[in-house]
Structure 1
Amino acid sequence: MSTFTPTYGATAQPDGTTQFRFWAPNATQVDVVIDDGAPAAMTREPNGDFVAQATCGAGARYRFRIDGDVAVPDPASRLQDGDVHDASLVTAPDAFAWQHADWRGRPFEETVLYELHPGLCGGFNGIAKRLPDLAALGVTAVELMPIADFPGARNWGYDGVLPYAPDTAYGTPDDLKRMIDTAHGLGLMVFLDVVYNHFGPDGNYLNAYARDFFTEDTQTPWGPAIDFRKTPVRTFFAENALYWLSEYRFDGLRLDAVHAIAEPEWLPEMAAFVRSHIGEDRQVHLVLENDDNIASHMENGFDAQWNDDAHHVVHHLLTGETNAYYIDYADAPAEKLARVLGEGFVFQGEPSKMRKGEPRGTPSHRLRPTAFVLFLQNHDQIGNRAMGERLISLAPPDHEALHAAVAMQLLCPHIPLIFMGEERGVETPFLYFTSHTDAELVKAVREGRRREFAGLHEFEDEAAQAKIPDPNESSTYERSRDDDAAGAPDASTWLDLYRHLLGLRRTRIAPHLAGATSLGAQVLGSHAVSARWLLGDGSTLAIFTNLGTETVTGEKLSDDYDAEAEVLFESRAGADAALRSVQLPAGTTVALLRAPSAP
Structure 2
Amino acid sequence: MSDDRFGATPEKNGVTFRLWAPGAARVDVMLDMPHAMRATGDGWFSIHVPGAGAGSRYRFRIDGDLQVPDPASQFQPEDISGPSEVLDHHAYRWRANDWRGRPWEEAIFLEAHVGTFTATGTYRAMIDRLDHLAATGITALELMPLADFPGRRNWGYDGVLWYAPDSSYGRPDELKALIDEAHLRGMMVFLDVVYNHFGPEGNYLGRYAPAFFSPSHTPWGNAIDYRVPQVRQFAIDNALYWLRDYRFDGLRLDAVQAIVEVGEPPLLNELSRQAGLLAEATGRTIHLVVENDDNRAGLLDPETDPPHGRYRAQWNDDYHHAWHVLLTGETGDYYRDYPEPQRDIARALGSGFAYQGEASAHRGGKLRGEASGNLPPTAFVSFLQNHDQIGNRALGDRLEAIAKPAAIEAALAITLLAPMPPMLFMGEEWGSQTPFPFFCDFKGDLANAVRQGRRREFQSAYEKYGNEIPDPLNDSTFQLAHLDWNEAESAPGRKRLKLVRDLLTIRRERIVPCLAAIRFGEAHATGDGGLAARWIISDGRSLKLAANLSARALPAPASAPSDQPVWGQTPNGTMPPWSVVWTLGGP
Q: Is the TM-score greater than 0.5?
A: yes
Deviation at 1:49, TM superposition (A): 1.2
Which of structure 1's runs of 4+ aligned residues deviate more than 4 A?
Answer: none
Which residue in the other structure is 1:447 paired with? 452
Contact 1:374–1:417 under 8 Å retained in 2: yes
Deviation at 1:465, TM superposition (A): 4.5
Residues 46-85 of structure 1: CA distance to partner in whole angstroms, max 9, x if unpaired?
A: 3111111112111111100011111000000011131001
Which residue in the other structure is 2:579 paired with? 588
Q: Does 1:81 align with 2:88?
A: no
Deviation at 1:171, TM superposition (A): 0.8
Which residue in the other structure is 1:123 paired with? 122
SS in 1 for 2:471: coil
Question: Whole-Å Cα distance in 2 between the matches of residues 6 and 119 of structure 1?
Answer: 34
Contact 1:77–1:162 under 8 Å retained in 2: yes
Question: Whole-Å Cα distance in 2 between the matches of residues 106 and 524 of structure 1?
Answer: 38
The partner residue of 1:237 within 229, 235, 238 is 235
Deviation at 1:380, TM superposition (A): 0.3
Which residue in the other structure is 1:274 paired with? 275
Alignment of 1:503-522 (within 5 A): 503-522=505-524
Amino acid at match of 1:440: D
Which residue in the other structure is 1:24 paired with? 21
Amino acid at match of 1:592: T
Amino acid at match of 1:452: E
SS in 2 for 1:490: helix
Deviation at 1:550, TM superposition (A): 2.7
Q: Does 1:102 align with 2:98?
A: yes
Contact 1:318–1:547 under 8 Å retained in 2: no
Residues 509-547 of structure 1: CA distance to partner in whole angstroms, max 9, x if unpaired?
A: 112200210111111234431111123554321111222
Which residue in the other structure is 1:339 paired with? 347
Which residue in the other structure is 1:371 paired with? 379
Which residue in the other structure is 2:169 paired with? 170
Alignment of 1:53-452 (within 5 A): 53-55=48-50, 56-121=52-117, 122-216=121-215, 218-264=216-262, 265-279=266-280, 281-299=283-301, 300-330=309-339, 332-396=340-404, 399-436=405-442, 438-452=443-457
Amino acid at match of 1:340: A
Given the superposition, is the C-alpha separation of residues 537 and 102 from structure 1 closer, same or farther in structure 2, using an over 3 Å criterion?
A: farther
Contact 1:307–1:372 under 8 Å retained in 2: yes
Amino acid at match of 2:17: F
Contact 2:275–2:286 under 8 Å retained in 1: no
Residues 26-51 of structure 1: CA distance to partner in whole angstroms, max 9, x if unpaired?
A: 111111111xx322111123311111
CA RMSD across the alignment: 1.6
Question: Whole-Å Cα distance in 2 between the matches of residues 511 and 346 of structure 1?
Answer: 27
Q: Does 1:468 align with 2:481?
A: no
Residues 229-288 of structure 1: CA distance to partner in whole angstroms, max 9, x if unpaired?
A: 110111100111111010000001000000100134210111001111231611010000
Residues 179-218 of structure 1: CA distance to partner in whole angstroms, max 9, x if unpaired?
A: 11111110000000001111111111111111111111x2
Amino acid at match of 1:372: F
Amino acid at match of 2:9: T
The partner residue of 2:490 within 488, 491, 516 is 488
Question: Whole-Å Cα distance in 1 between the matches of residues 4 and 510 of structure 2?
Answer: 42
Which residue in the other structure is 2:304 paired with? none
Amino acid at match of 1:120: T
Deviation at 1:6, TM superposition (A): 8.3
Contact 1:114–1:419 under 8 Å retained in 2: yes
Amino acid at match of 2:571: A
Amino acid at match of 1:220: T
Deviation at 1:552, TM superposition (A): 3.4
Scaled by the length of structure 2, what TM-score is found? 0.94
Aligned-residue sequence identity (percent) comes to: 49
Question: Whole-Å Cα distance in 2 between the matches of residues 206 and 173 of structure 1?
Answer: 24
Given the superposition, is the C-alpha separation of residues 510 and 24 from structure 1 closer, same or farther in structure 2, using an over 3 Å criterion?
A: same
Question: Whole-Å Cα distance in 2 between the matches of residues 102 and 323 of structure 1?
Answer: 49
SS in 1 for 2:517: coil
Which residue in the other structure is 2:46 paired with? 51
Given the superposition, is the C-alpha separation of residues 325 and 279 from structure 1 closer, same or farther in structure 2, using an over 3 Å criterion?
A: same
Amino acid at match of 1:8: F
Contact 2:419–2:515 under 8 Å retained in 1: yes
SS in 1 for 2:526: strand
The partner residue of 2:570 within 558, 568, 576 is 576
The runs of 5 or more residues in structure 1 that have no matched partner are: none
Contact 2:10–2:87 under 8 Å retained in 1: yes
Scaled by the length of structure 1, what TM-score is found? 0.92
Amino acid at match of 2:42: N
Deviation at 1:441, TM superposition (A): 1.5
SS in 2 for 1:18: strand
Question: How many correspondences in the alignment?
Answer: 569
The runs of 5 or more residues in structure 2 that have no matched partner are: 302-308
Question: Whole-Å Cα distance in 1 between the matches of residues 255 and 110 of structure 2?
Answer: 19
Amino acid at match of 2:323: V
